[in-house]
Amino acid sequence: MKRPIRDGFFLVWRHQRLVWWIFFVNLLLGFFASHCAWHRAALFVGQKPLRGELSRRFDATVFIELL
C-alpha cells in the first residue's frame, strides 16, 4: 500500500505547476459562479427588516426565503 501512495505523491510533485494552474482556474471559475448569487443575496438581505432579523439571530424562514 505504501508504494502507490508514494508514487502518487511523486507524480503530483512532478506536475506541481499543472496542479496549481488547475487550482487557480477552479478558484476563478468558482468566484464567477458564485458572484451572481452573492450579489442577489446581498440585495435581498439589504432590505431593512430582513437585515436586522438575520444579524441578530438565525431565522430559518428568512433563510429559506433567501434561497
Between the alpha carbon of residue 7 and those of residues 11, 18, 21, 40, 61, the distances in Å are 6, 17, 21, 46, 50
16-45 and 2-14 helices cross at what angle (nearest 10)? 80
**DSSP code for 15:** T
**Section 25-43 average pLDDT:** 83
**Mean pLDDT over residues 36-65, rounded?**
68
**Residue 19: is its pLDDT beyond 90?**
yes
pLDDT tens-digit readout, 54-66? 667 776 777 777 6
Q: Domain range for residue 6? A: 2-66
Say if pTM beats, i.e. exceeds, 0.75: no
Number of domains in the chain: 1
Q: Which residues of 8-18 are buried (b: 16+ CB within 10 A; e: fewer)?
A: eeeeeeeeeee
